[in-house]
Amino acid sequence: MTPRTTAIATLALLIAGLSPLSVSASEQLAQKYACVGCHQADKKIVGPSWSSIREKYKGSVTPAQLAKSIKAGASGKWGPIPMPPQAAVPDTDALAIANWILGAP
**pTM, full prediction:** 0.74
**Closest listed residue to residue 86, CA positions, set 65, 69, 63, 61:** 69
- C-alpha angle with apex 65: 62 to 69, nearest 5 degrees? 140
Residues of the chain with pLDDT under 70: 1-25, 104-105
Q: Cβ contacts of residue 44 below 8 Å, gap of 6+? A: 52
Asked whether the beta carbons of 38 and 97 are under 8 A apart, the reply is no
- Domains of the chain (ranges; CATH) run 19-102 (1.10.760.10)
* pLDDT of amino acid 26: 81
d(CA 79, CA 26): 26
* pLDDT of amino acid 27: 83
